[in-house]
Amino acid sequence: MVKLIIQIPCKNEEATLPLVVNELPKEIDGIDVIEYQIIDDGSTDRTSQVAKELWVHHIIRFIQNRGLWFAFKAGLENALKHWADILVNTDGDNQYPSKYIADLVQPILAGTADIVIGNRNPTQVKHFSPLKRFLQGLGNRFVGYAAGMKLQDSVSGFRAYNRTALLEINVTSKFSYVVDTIVQAVKKWLKIAWVPITVNLPTRKSRLFSNLFQHIKKTTVNLTRVYIMYEPFKMWFRASTPFVLVGLVGILRFIYYYLEGDGAGKIQSLIISSLIMQVGITLFVLGIMADLIAKNRFLIEENLKMMKDMKYDPVTRTGQDK
């Protein structure tokens, strides 16, 4: 039996939630059970009450706003708890047309993907400003570089995850979890597929950031942290290389003049070059230490995956709510 849970993180979405829920699929070929899940992230309106009136199967409510990353994490854990084989994440503002959910789960059902992402083709979305379209394309390149593969729509929140992906993914970012998790997925050798979709016109402004440049700043910081987390040696090695080369050139220059009998006048440049070289060596050593820490993190995540698998396995679970 294949079970699908469709998840909708919400904050003050009482106006659009009925439209989103009513358009969710009731049946999909290859899926035996479909359930809906709402994560009410500290709403001050009737979002949770509306969800109850719509007979939503799972309602998770936070008294205060915890952030989209926390809502996604809570939904992921609840999906595992209720033995979901596939989790689909969509938005409560009706950005993503629900008609594409059937397309989204097909690669997972066919066994060809662990994660499927709805590709909005963001550089071509007409209601995006020219600047936003340009920055979306640029952002895809940067995230793709950090992940190590070409990405089509790195910040699309319209995604489907199989159970393997749900066990592997660990949300570590408090801003854009979509960037965090896509880099994780690539580094953990999860297979990613893309499904072309269109998007509906926006019903409200984004609540993740007040303006586009704030979004760029937060995404850049988050991406840098994720890149350092998964490629620490490469990052620190590249940072150390210019210092080592400059320091080495200065030291070789001093040796040359020393052998020519003019070394006494080059002592200051030797000291400066040695200090620069020391900075480079320090950064290189930091890279080695960070790489060792990354190895430990990998082992910890493997253990965490096994613990989650045992915790949410219906065969081994005892005394927990079903």
SS (H, E, C) 73-100: HHHHHHHHHCCCCEEEECCCCCCCCHHH
Residue 229 CB-half CA count within 13 A: 20
Confirm if 112 and 31 have CB atoms less than 8 A apart: no
CA distances for 16 relative to 21, 127, 143, 153, 278, angstroms: 9, 19, 31, 24, 59
Span 58-105, pLDDT tens digits: 999 999 888 888 899 999 999 999 989 999 999 888 889 899 999 999
Span 217-231, pLDDT tens digits: 776 777 777 777 778
- pLDDT range class, residue 201, cuts 50, 70, 90: confident
- pLDDT range class, residue 316, cuts 50, 70, 90: low
Residue 289 CB contacts under 8 Å (≥ 6 apart), including other chains: none
Q: Averaged over 181-209, what is the pLDDT?
A: 81
- pLDDT range class, residue 202, cuts 50, 70, 90: low
| Closest C-alpha among 152, 116, 151, 94 to residue 4 | 116
Query: Residue type at 25?
Result: P
